[in-house]
Chain A
């Protein structure tokens, strides 16, 4: 018994471990988190998959054995208690009861006996009477002894549930792994090359495996994730995905995920077609197929690639597909593009305080740019301009490692809602050949400069110089130069002059870009101010973008892949059976109250001895005893 409670506690604590430490993460995450030493130790202890570790299994087995033994030992006792009326109780033992009373018998023995039996019947007691040698008679009664089955039901139920659970666990694989027949595959190789030792045949009694099917494809294997590797589970049929759909609420949140599946099996005259969705799986040949998640299935992508630092402003087309690769640039500077993910809908809460409603900001794409040393930077780009603080921007984020947050480049849109305005502006700002013209324009429009050619020349030179510096690294470059060359006291004044001058230059540059494309020019107003401020910020941020390439998604052809989960769990019906038993057992244990009554009729003394007992002494019993005592008293006297 103490053992049982201890086991329950240990099971509880073991379970806690598995919830505190995130289970089944990729192993590198654990290494980063714990360091090599602790990582190794925790791995030995099986802490990354507690619920499938050997020691956890051992606890469960202990529980099964000890509970079985408990039922084996107490079960017969309980059945005996359930059956017996305990009609052999002696007067002496009845007298020793804590709940007893003696009444005078005013009627004859038989009449009294009749009355008492009616009483017991009315109260729902079953009874049995025995005549004693001295002429007395004992009526032994019981009610609610079905409670005793509660014990048997609950505890048998626990054994059945646990056995069912073990049946659905991966015990067969664990044994084969220990014997060296099977091992997990940790390499990312094509399924057909996975060796026999890492494959599970169709006769595997239970499994829980995953399958990712792009639209229009089919497969007859699924993957079982085990620790940091996987096993290939062969299926007795082929699953094909015709179509995958996501439906959305008006707010953009997903409403349903559905897959149109086709089951192809030589045993079938016709393939089965069925649509599955979350909460509505398909069952075939003992294998249940669930809609579990979805991902991209190789969406085709068309980009415009801008080289941010090249003064020519013609974007280059680039085509690719998710999970595919591409190349940007040439020679040693060439970068590999790895297209990782495409999302058609992105529900983001864009309000500054986070209290507004989330809404859909349209498609985005995640990709990595990898240099020839293998270093990669991850990027995310949104296809459509996003509204931030009332203005629209093209937004692209970058980060060096998965742990970092994305840092975003925000490029303001032009009047035609396109990126071209900024790109033209950027081209002119980078083109040293354009600086003298910008400088001349500023000088002409500026009242402060005056007409003295020498002063004008000097002014123009300083503008050209400033633009040259700005083109090398934006504001931060300018700040560095100031810090190097200007005494501390004057820095603020100089900086604000420079900023003002860059602003004015930007105005001219932007307009030159517009003029070259025969677009209407900017007018001096607050909106233009904001546009120029944003454009200059983007220009400055460009230098922190990590690569010269800005990929702008032009078009896509969406292809999705449905994430299916396939399970075979022969233990499930046992678990359910056990559950029903468990509920029955608990209710009978707690809501059926076992009570026993003995009525000893003593014709010699003309008395009736009333005794009552229960295996659970609680208040209900006290009350019931008091009521019965009063009622019997009324009945008999």
Chain B
């Protein structure tokens, strides 16, 4: 059993999506609990890749390819858990995510999403060009822990202020935390917006969310 989990780790580390799919299927067919595959095979592997990226030992593309390979395995394991009516386990946190209205940039946001998902968070990705009100509606609907918005343009970043305002108007600002990011933002802007957190990149954003959610527990 340990061998196949080791092979899954290696396949993730080698960005080998086909092997991850094959090995996860094989592991489950051989009677290994899908939760074990998730917790002892896929998750530690992607954490290892994330750490390497954090230390600048690997490039972003390597991280994303590993994340895609990992997600392919996660999907198989999750499907099996649903079939067996096992509980996947509660997500570590719920995050409503999107690129603000008028802005169609999605790469950073997508990386952030993938990294959060493989870290065990439930992400509600509203996509790009999202009106401020939609962030608020979704946050209320899913009882979100975080609202995360991205803005790549100086012309669109005022939308992040609007999100803050609308969250206040809806009366949930005290309950939900906000985090902003994107090329047009920095610490000074974050202060002006009045958000809780600012992240220079996707990796930092994920680290902040993990830290805050773990503290809340």
Do A and B bind? no
- Hey, which bits of chain A sit against chain B, CB under 8 A? none
- Hey, which bits of chain B sit against chain A, CB under 8 A? none
